Amino acid sequence: MLELLVIVMVVSVAILLAWWACYGGMAGPIDWVMHTSVHGDRGKQQVALTFDDGPDPARTPALLDALAELHVKATFFMVGASVDANPALVARIAAEGHEIGNHTYTHRYLPMARSKMVAKELALTDRAIERATGIVPTLARPPWGGRSPKTVRTFARLAKRMVLWDVNSFDWKGKPAADVAQRVLERARPGSIILMHEARDHGEVTVEAVRLLVPALRAQGFDLVTVSGVV
Ligand SMILES: [Zn+2]
C-alpha cells in the first residue's frame, strides 16, 4: 500500500515537473537554456497583440473590422487545416497588413511528437499559408506553448522563429471583456507579446476586449505593432 502511494507521488511530481518545463505560459528552464523569446525589446514602448487558433469564419471578420477601425496591425498564429478550409479569409488577413504565423496543421501538442512529425506539421501549414497569401511565414508558435529542447531545435532547423508570450489574456475563460482587458493592462510592459484567441467559444469577448484594450494601451504610451516589430 505504501509502495503504491510512493509511486503515485513520484508520478505526480514527474508530471508537474514536465508541465512546468514545457508549458509556454511562462519563461521556463527550456527558455533559459535554449534562448527562446517570450517577449520583445523591453527598451521600447511597444507591445504586440497576437491571435491564435484561427481563421474562424464566424469570429475573424468581426475581429478584423475592429482592428481596422482601431488602426492596429496584429499577428495571427493560424492552424493549417483551418487555413486550407478558409483561404479567402486568410488572404483578407494578409491584405489588411497583419502578420501571419504558423500554429501547426492540427494544433498538436508537440513535446510528445517526433521531430519528423513536428517538421511535417510546420511544413503543411507553411504550404497552406503560402497557397492562400503567397507568403511563407517565418514566425511559429507551438500549440499551448508546448515545447521541449527537441521542439525548439526542429523549429530552428526549419528557420522558424519560435514566438511565445509573456501576457496571457485568458480570453477563453468566459470572463467579461472589461476583466480581460484589465488583466492585460495590469501586466503589459514594454516589449510584451499578448496572447489572445480568434477562434474560441467566447470570440465576441475577445473583440470587445480589443476595443477596450487598444485605446487604454495607447493612453499608457504603448504603440501596437506586429511581433516582427517588437522582437
Ligand atoms: Zn492554439
171 is catalytic: no
- Is residue 28 pLDDT above 80, yes or no? no
What pLDDT, on the 0 to 100 scale, is given for residue 105? 98
**What pLDDT score does 87 carry?**
98
* Nine-digit cell string for 97: 497588413
CA of 156 to the centre of ligand 1 (A): 20
Q: What is the pLDDT of residues 53-101, one digit of tens each?
A: 999 999 999 999 999 999 999 999 999 999 999 999 999 999 999 999 9
Q: Which of 31, 52, 126, 166 is catalytic?
A: 52
Distance 103 CA to ligand 1 centre (A): 7
List the CATH number of the domain containing 96.
3.20.20.370
Mean pLDDT of the chain: 92
What local confidence, expressed as pLDDT, does residue 23 receive? Answer: 66
* Torsion sign across C-alpha atoms 68, 41, 19, 112: positive
The predicted structure's pLDDT at residue 76: 98
> What's the gap in Å between 11 CA and the centre of ligand 1?
27
Cell triple for 103: 500554429
pLDDT in tens, 116-143: 999 999 999 999 999 999 999 999 999 9
Q: What is the pLDDT of residue 174?
A: 87
**Per residue in 174-202, pLDDT tens?**
899 999 999 999 999 999 999 999 866 77
pLDDT at 37: 73
More confident residue, 12 or 80: 80
pLDDT number for residue 51 = 97
Kindly give the distance from the C-alpha atom of residue 197 to the centroid of ligand 1, in angstroms, as a whole number: 8
User: Which residue segment(s) compose the domain that 49 sits in?
Assistant: 2-230
pLDDT, residue 197, reads 94
Helix H, strand E, coil C: the string for 61-124 is HHHHHHHHHHCCCCEEEECHHHHHHCHHHHHHHHHCCCEEEECCCCCCCHHHCCHHHHHHHHHH
> Highest mean pLDDT: which of 37-46, 97-106, 144-153?
97-106
pLDDT of residue 137: 97
Residue predicted with more confidence, 183 or 203: 183
Quick check: 19 pLDDT over 80? no
Q: Residue-wise over 160-199: b if at least 16 C-beta within 10 A, else e? A: bbbbbbbbbbebbeebebebbbbbbbeebebbbbbbbbbb
Residue 91: predicted pLDDT: 98
Per-residue confidence (pLDDT) for residue 24, from 0 to 100: 60
**Is 218 within 8 Å of 188 (Cβ atoms)?**
no
From the list 75, 6, 5, the residue with the least C-alpha distance to 230 is 75
For the chain, the domain total comes to: 1
Residue 71 CA, ligand 1 centroid: distance in Å: 25
Active-site residue, from 39, 98, 197, 202: 197
The reply to whether 56 belongs to the active site is no
Please tell me the predicted confidence (pLDDT) of residue 13: 87
- Rounded Cα–Cα distance for residues 226 and 124 (Å): 24
Rounded to an integer, the average pLDDT of 22-49 is 81
